[in-house]
A and B are shown apart, each in its own frame.
Chain A
Amino acid sequence: MQPIIQIQGVGKTYASGFTALKSVDLDIHRGEIFALLGPNGAGKTTLISIICGIVNASSGRVLADGMDIVADYRAARSLIGLVPQELTTDAFESVWDTVSFSRGLFGKPADPAYIEKVLRQLSLWDKRNSKMLALSGGMKRRVMIAKALSHEPGILFLDEPTAGVDVELRRDMWEMVRGLRDNGVTVILTTHYIEEAEEMADRIGVITRGELILVEDKDRLMHQLGQKQLHLILQTPLDSLPAPLQSFNLELSEDGSQLTFTFDAHQETSGIAELLSSLSEQGIALKDLQSRQSSLEDIFVNLVHRPEASA
């Protein structure tokens, strides 16, 4: 099936000379929730802004449902809804007016019943006549989502949707995003909350310094997350790994004082008992044992700080 978004060699260098994106290639699958992770200034918002038509790309092209976002901007943009990172709304407009404005702007005829449905789904119905300036930050965030959904988009971009949002609203938003995905909407969200990506995404992309350094199925990443390591500190350093221990997934440190055993915590048997038994048989005495589980956050931090990522 054709990806709903195809990003092909997209780069962006601003007039100041700053390169925000370096030839990014990415396909977004129809109906998935894709989380784009990256530290501040990585290029997440620039990439989204290019796809949505807010920023001009310096190179490459983007197709939305097969349509070029520049040459066929009308059809392409009609498919896309955007919830920006900043709470940018007209302070003096009412909730109803601002959401209706968005629907009209995207070329849709007025549909009060649909606007009512969206407002009710986002618990905004009681606030429909309130001016934007009278709303709390969380409510404004909901209005931004209502505006993005007002024209019934098939693709929804959420740029840091839960930044500065309390835990309850965050959970509500996750539920809402899942509901949208269940209704066939493709959701692309940027976040620097690893927990958010873990909770919601089908696939995860990691971007840093304008480069997409990883795109992976979340379950596969979770599998990596499931891997644990057992560090065995030896009383007497070894010169090399004895032959009977080579069947284990073991690594000997350079100074020979530590063995690292990597195992899958999701497996029924970890192999620890067998390893300890073998060590005993070989007469290898242990000084200490340490167990550690790597998190997605560790994977993310390692990825964005590894030498080739920062080069």
Chain B
Amino acid sequence: MNLNGVRAIYKFEMNRTRRTLMQSVISPVLSTSLYFIVFGTAIGSRMGEIDGVSYGAFIIPGLLMLSLLSESISNASFGIFFPKFSGTIYEVLSAPVSSFEIIAGYVGAAATKSLIIGTLILLTARLFVDYSIAHPVWMLAFLLLTALTFSLFGFIIGVWANDFQQLQIIPLMVITPLTFLGGAFYSINMLPEPWQTLTLFNPVVYLINGFRWAFYGVADVHMGLSLGMTLLFLLICLSVVWWIFRTGYRIKP
């Protein structure tokens, strides 16, 4: 295994994060904090509890998931798209690194950055809202799984995208709406039919609810189902990435 190669890619990507600290770390933490202030402190104090959890605390897992998904996708997609766009990918393709090592470098760095942001958001939330974590190990497991899965998903988008617009389409037009409609701000039991049933087709529902269960022990869907869906999505992403490297799709003519 070319560990030096993995380390080089990982370090390169983390250096990029360091160079753009304001944009890549401070900005998402700040914007999520605004949600805590508005929905947690200001509006949340006038709203009732949901499933025995105060509204301010209830939205923490969903908001965290929102940031985690968008940052994982954005970091990993840009990480592979930019070398493709600028032509510097020639070096990675000509180096003695395997597909797995390339993925480990790019996706590992993207997931690390998402985890750093997630941790900062969690710490920042403490300033505005009281919350508890009922199952910290599961919380960590969901955090890791989601960061990894969506970094892989971001990698796929980065390979697929031919321009900057395409790079933004999926996160903005698909992921953000799915997260907002996936129960980040409400329990899906509050929805009337047929929306309640339709919402179950939104995969983000399972991510948010699994995460919420880890925090408060309550969720709209069973935790096992949430875990299963997350693992299924991880498997799908891994399969697509494997296919990309096998065929050279959009990276190797």
Contact with B along A93-123 (1 / 0, CB 8 A): 1000100111111111100000000000000
**A80 sits at the interface (CB 8 A):** yes
Known: A54-B93, A88-B88, A105-B95. 7 other contacts (CB 8 A): A14-B253, A53-B93, A92-B19, A93-B12, A97-B15, A100-B8, A108-B4
Closest to B87 in A: A88
Inside 8 A of B88's CB, which chain A residues have their CB?
88-90
Inside 8 A of B19's CB, which chain A residues have their CB?
92
Residue picked from B12, B19, B88, B95, most chain A C-beta under 10 Å: B95
Instruction: Give the complex CA separation of A22 and B209 in angstroms.
Output: 57
6 A-B contact pairs sorted by A residue (CB < 8 Å): A56-B253, A74-B2, A82-B91, A84-B90, A103-B8, A105-B91
Inside 8 A of B4's CB, which chain A residues have their CB?
104-109
Are B91 and A104 in contact (CB-based, < 8 A)? no
**A272 sits at the interface (CB 8 A):** no
A74-B2, A97-B15, A105-B9 in contact; A56/B92 too (CB < 8 A)? no
What's the tally of chain B residues with a CB closer than 8 Å to chain A?
A: 27
**B217 sits at the interface (CB 8 A):** no
Inside 8 A of B239's CB, which chain A residues have their CB?
none
Inside 8 A of A74's CB, which chain B residues have their CB?
2, 96, 98
Inside 8 A of B7's CB, which chain A residues have their CB?
104
Inside 8 A of A71's CB, which chain B residues have their CB?
none
**B177 sits at the interface (CB 8 A):** no
**B222 sits at the interface (CB 8 A):** no
**A15 sits at the interface (CB 8 A):** yes
Q: B: which residues have CB within 8 A of A? A: 2, 4-5, 7-9, 11-12, 15-16, 19, 83, 86-88, 90-98, 248, 252-253
Contact of B92 among A15, A78, A91, A105 (CB under 8 A): A105
Instruction: Give the complex CA separation of A191 and B237 in angstroms.
Output: 43
Closest 9 CB pairs of A and B: A104-B8, A88-B87, A74-B96, A77-B96, A52-B94, A107-B2, A105-B95, A105-B8, A54-B93
Are B86 and A73 in contact (CB-based, < 8 A)? no
**A75 sits at the interface (CB 8 A):** yes
Instruction: Give the complex CA separation of A84 and B94 in angstroms.
Output: 11
Contact of B95 among A86, A88, A90, A106 (CB under 8 A): A106
Closest to A16 in B: B253
**B252–chain A nearest beta-carbon distance, Å:** 6
**Considering the complex, which residues of chain A in the window 100-148 have a beta carbon less than 8 Å from any beta carbon of chain B?**
100-109, 147
Inside 8 A of B83's CB, which chain A residues have their CB?
90
A86-B87, A107-B2, A107-B5 in contact; A15/B253 too (CB < 8 A)? yes
Are A88 and B90 in contact (CB-based, < 8 A)? yes
Inside 8 A of B91's CB, which chain A residues have their CB?
82, 102, 105, 147
**B21–chain A nearest beta-carbon distance, Å:** 13
